[in-house]
Amino acid sequence: VVVALLGVWKAGGAYVFVDPSYPVERVGVVLAEAGPVCVVTSGGLAGGLPGGLGVPVVCVDDPGMESAPVVASVVGAGPGVAAYVMFTSGSSGVPKGVVVSQGAVVGLVAALGPVLGAGPGVGVLQFASFGFDGSVLDVAVVLASGGRLVVASEAERADVGLLADLVVREGVEVASVVPSLLGVVDPAGVPGLGRVLVGGELLSAEVAGVWADGRVLVNTYGPTEATVMVTAGQVAGHVVGVPSVGGPVANARLYVLDRFLEPVPPGVAGELYVAGVQLARGYHQRPDLTGERFVACPFGGAGERMYRTGDLARWTADGQLMFVGRADDQVKVRGFRVEPAEVEAVLAAHPGVGQVVVVAREDVPGDKRLVAYVVPESDAVLGDGLRIFAAERLPEYMVPSAVVVLDRLPLSVNGKLDRAALPAPEYSSAGGRGPATVAEELVCQVFADVLGVERVGVEQDFFELGGHSLLAMRLVSRLRVVFGVEVSVRALFEVSTPAGLAARVAGADAARVGLTRWERPERVPLSFAQRRLWFLAQLEGPSATYNIPIALRLEGALDVPALGAAFGDVLERHEVLRTVFPVVDGEPYQQVLTAGELGDVLRVARVAEGEVADLVMEETGHRFDLGVEVPLRALLVGIDEDVHVLVVVVHHVAGDGWSMGPLSRDISVAYAARCDGHAPGWEPLPVQYADYTLWQRELLGDEGDPDSVLAGQVGFWREALDGAPQELALPCDRPRPAMASHQGHTVALEVPAEVHAQLAALARERGVTLFMVVQAALALVLSRLGAGEDIPVGTAVAGRTDQALDDLVGFFVNTLVLRTDVSGDPTFGELLERVRETSLAALEHQEVPFERLVEVLAPDRSLARHPLFQVMLTLQNNAEPSIELGGVRAVSVPFGQVASRFDMNLTLRETTIDGRPGGLRGSVTGSVDLFDGVSVEVFAERLVRV
Ligand code: AMP
C-alpha cells in the first residue's frame, strides 16, 4: 500500500480516498461527481468498481506502479493542484468531497513533523483507514521525514490483541489514533509505544489519565477541511478534567469569534474559525457549500479565506483552546464524523418510512450510538429490515445501532422536535431461555458488561443490542481473558449470540451422538449414578440418606380422587418412577413395572393434627428397598375436611433437585385435568430414563478404549486431583466417628440484597460467575479456619446436557470436585482467576460420572467420610418448583432433621426483586458427628461476612 501511495505521491497525482466499507454503488455516485481523478482504496473494492466512469484506478496491489504515470498525466504538480479529495458525511444526504491541495499537504508535513516526532528509522503506526484524513498525517508526514510506517492490516485494525502484537513485534514507538481506540487498548500491552497523538473527537479525562501516565500524550484538533490537524498540546502527566486541544500549530491561525465575527475574550465560548496554508480548496463541485463554509478572513491579507468549523470553543488564559461542542447537529461516533441528516436522508428513502430523526445518544457513558426514530408510513411494518436497508447503503459506523418506532415524533410547545422527549432505545428484552451452561452464563455476563446492560439473554444478538466494531474488540479481548482462548472478531460476526459463542469457546463437539429412543436390551443396566447409589445401599443397608422429600400443607377443597389419579398419570408418564432394581447374577438392572402392577400410588390416611408431625417424619425417613419398591411414595394425610398434608418422597435413584420442577409441573397439570374429568392431554416424553442410560454408555464409551470420552476425562481428573487432601481439616468440635451418622444441623444462610448486587457486579467485572465468587469466598473461609491451602469443594452440575432431558424426571445430576489453590496469599481478584480456571477445566470434563471417579481415585472406601471432598456447595438458579392444585393453598411443612451426606453442605438460591438481585438465601448443614449447632451458625456468619 505504502509503496503504491508513495509512487503516486512522487508523481504528483491526485487521489480519491474511499472507505472500503462504502458499498460499491455509492462509491460510484461519489466518483461520478468527483470526475477524472484516481482512486486509492485499501480493500478489494477497486476491482469491483462500476466501469465507464473514466476514472483511472490505482490498485493497492499494483507492484509495478504501472498506473503511476497515468496519475501524473491526469494532473500536474504545484502547490495549488489537488493532492487528494477526501469524502466526509454531508448533511444534504450525500457525502461531500473536500479537495486538498498539494501545498496544504506540504504545510501539514512542515507543521506536524515535529509534533508527531517522526524521523529516520522511527516506527510509526498507520492505523487510520485511507478513507479518513488521519491516514494522510501518517503517510505524508512519516514518509517525508524518513520514518518507518507500520501498516496495520484489516484484521489488526479490528482486533486490539492483534494490534498490540503488531506494535510490539514491529517496535512501533509513535501512533496517531482516535481516543475511542485508546479506550479499548490496554496500555500495559504496548510498553514500547512512547508517544501517542490523539484527535478527531473529545478526549475524556479518564482515557487521558490512563495514557498520559508514563508516556507523551498529545491532544490534537482539526477538521478535514484544514488538512488533518491544526492544534496540538501535550497532556500533562497528572490529568485534571478534560484536557485542552492545545494551541495552533505552526501553519495555522485560529479565531474564536462571535456572530459578528468579532473575537471573544478568553473564557467565553464562540465559534471556531481556521486560517492558514492548510486550508482546503473547498468542496468538490459544490460552490454553494464552499462559499458558505470558506469565508473571507477579516484578519488576513487580501483574498485570504478562513474555514468556519461549526465547532464551539474557548481560549484559556494561557492561550490553550478548549473544545466546547458543536454549533450544529454534526456528531462524532467513535471518531467518525457523521451528519445525522445524511443518515436521515438514506432512511427516508425506505418506502415504509414516514418521518425519521437520527440522533447520537450516550445512554452508557463513553459509548455514543446513533439511534433512528421512525414514524412508519400508514401501516407499514418496520422490523429489522430498516437497519439492513441502512447497512446496504451506509458505512458501518453510520448505521443506527437501534431503530425506535414511534406513533409520532414528540414536539415541544412551539412545534419543534423535542429531542429530550425521545425515549432511550430498549436494547435488552432479555427473553428466551436462560443460560444452560457455565460457559453460556459467562458469555452472557461478558456481553452485559461490554454492552453496559444489566442482563443479556443467551439467544440475543450482539449487534442488535447495539454492539459495534469497538465494542466487538472489547468483547473479544474480554473473552480472551475469561476463557483463555482466542475468539476472532470474525467469529463474532459469524455467531453473535452468547449461545453461539459459548459453543465456540467451549469447543462444543458437534458430532456428538444425539439422545433419542434406544432399542432396549433384555436387561437395561443402571446409569453410572444409579449404580453408585445402589452400591451404597448394599454397603450401608437401606437408609433415608438419599430421600428427596416434599411436604405440603394444603388448605381448601381438595379433590382427593383427582389427586390420586394424577399420581397415577405421573408414574405412567415417567418410567423411572415405576422402576425397581432386581439383581441377577450379582448385577442390578432396571425393571420397569406396568401401571397395573403398581396399584394406587397415593395412600390416604386420617389423623389428628397433633400426630401429623410424627407421621411426616416417619414418611420422609422411609427406607426404600430399591429391589422391590418403586422409588416414589406419596401420602395424603387428612386432618380436616379442607386441611391436608401431602408428603411426596422420591429416592435419589429416580430424581434430583432439577427433577422437582418437571415433577411438580406434571402433578399440577394432571390434577387439573382429572378435576375436569379427563386424563391429561400432554405429549408423550421424547425419551425415558432407560434411553438416557443406554445413550450415556454409548457416548462415554468404554474406559478400556483410550480414545473414549470416558478414558480421556478420567485421565484429566486423575491429574487434576493428584495430591489433593483426602480429608479436609475442618474446625470440628469432636473427632470423626468410624461411621458417619448422616445427621445434620441446619442453619439459615442469608446474603443481603445489596451484597448480592455487588457480588453480581464483581462477577461481571471479573468475568466469573456468581457461583465462582461464592466458591472463592468459601475456600477462603475454610483456609483461614485451618483447612490448609488446597481446598477441594464438591458441587452439583445438572448433567442435562441434551435438550431431550429438559422435562424428564430422573437422576442426571453429577458431582464435580473443584479444587481451589489458596497458597501464596493471593488477592481476592487473583483467587477468582484461579477459581475460574479450575472450574472451566472441570466443566469441560463434567461427563465422567462422579461415582466412576471415586472408584478410580479413591479406592479405599471409608464409611466415615465422603470420598474426594467433604464440603459441598450448590447455587440453585432454577426456578423454585411449586405444585399448583386448583384453588388449594399449598405451604411447605418443615420435616425435621435433614440427612447430611457431607461434613458441611451449603446450598444457596438467588432471589430477585423486580428482576434485580434480591439476596442469596439458603442454608448450611453441618454434620452432627463433627459440629455443635452453634459452630455451624458461626461458620455461616463468617462466610457471609467474607
Ligand atoms: P474530521 O473532519 O473527521 O477530522 O472531524 C473534524 C471534527 O472533529 C471537528 O470539527 C471537531 O468537531 C471534532 N474534533 C476533532 N478533534 C477533536 C478534539 N481533539 N476534541 C474534540 N473534538 C474534535
Closest residue to atom 4 of ligand 1, CA basis: 223
**Crossing angle, helix 828-844 and helix 709-720, to 10 degrees?**
150
* pLDDT tens profile 229-245: 999 999 988 878 899 99
* pLDDT tens profile 329-364: 999 998 889 999 999 999 999 988 999 999 999 887
What is d(CA 114, CA 119) in angstroms, rounded to the nearest whole number? 9
Is beta strand 904-913 parallel, antiparallel or unpaired with respect to 871-876? parallel
**Backbone φ and ψ of 30, nearest 5°:** -60, -45
Q: How far is the CA of 201 from the centre of ligand 1 (A)?
A: 5
**Which band of pLDDT confidence, cut at 50, 70 and 90, is reported for residue 512?**
low
pTM higher than the cut 0.85: no
DSSP, collapsed to helix, strand or coil, labels residue 833 as: helix
- Of 54-63, 579-588, 858-867, 882-891, least confident by mean pLDDT is 54-63
Does residue 98's CB lie within 6 angstroms of at least one atom of ligand 1? no
**Which band of pLDDT confidence, cut at 50, 70 and 90, is reported for residue 428?**
low
Q: How far is the CA of 775 from the centre of ligand 1 (A)?
A: 49
Does residue 243's CB lie within 6 angstroms of at least one atom of ligand 1? no
What is d(CA 934, CA 745) in angstroms, rounded to the nearest whole number? 9
DSSP3 helix / strand / coil % (the chain, rounded to 5): 35, 25, 40
> What's residue 899's pLDDT?
66
What is d(CA 245, CA 260) in angstroms, rounded to the nearest whole number? 25
Closest residue to atom 22 of ligand 1, CA basis: 201
The atom number, within ligand 1, closest to the CA of 326 reads 12
**Which band of pLDDT confidence, cut at 50, 70 and 90, is reported for residue 30?**
very low
Does residue 332's CB lie within 6 angstroms of at least one atom of ligand 1? yes
> What's residue 77's pLDDT?
60
Query: On the CB side of 757, how many CA atoms lie within 13 Å of its CA?
Result: 11
Dihedral sign for Cα 451, 751, 772, 815, please.
negative
Q: Are 924 and 944 in contact (CB under 8 A)?
A: no
Q: Which of 204, 337, 342 has most ligand 1 atoms within 8 Å of its beta carbon, as the pocket-test mutant? A: 337
**Which band of pLDDT confidence, cut at 50, 70 and 90, is reported for residue 75?**
very low
Cα–Cα nearest to 619, from 644, 577, 647: 647
Q: What residues contact 883, with CB distance under 8 A and at least 6 apart?
A: 550, 552, 646, 664, 667, 668, 890
> What's residue 495's pLDDT?
84
Sequence letter at residue 395: P
More confident residue, 901 or 607: 607
Cα–Cα nearest to 320, from 247, 267, 254: 247
Q: How far is the CA of 224 from the centre of ligand 1 (A)?
A: 9
- Of 131-135, 441-445, 575-579, least confident by mean pLDDT is 131-135
* pLDDT tens profile 552-611: 999 999 999 999 999 999 999 999 999 999 999 989 999 999 978 888 899 999 999 889
Does residue 245's CB lie within 6 angstroms of at least one atom of ligand 1? yes
Closest residue to atom 3 of ligand 1, CA basis: 337
> What's residue 45's pLDDT?
36
> What's residue 507's pLDDT?
63
Provide the grid cell at 841. 477445566
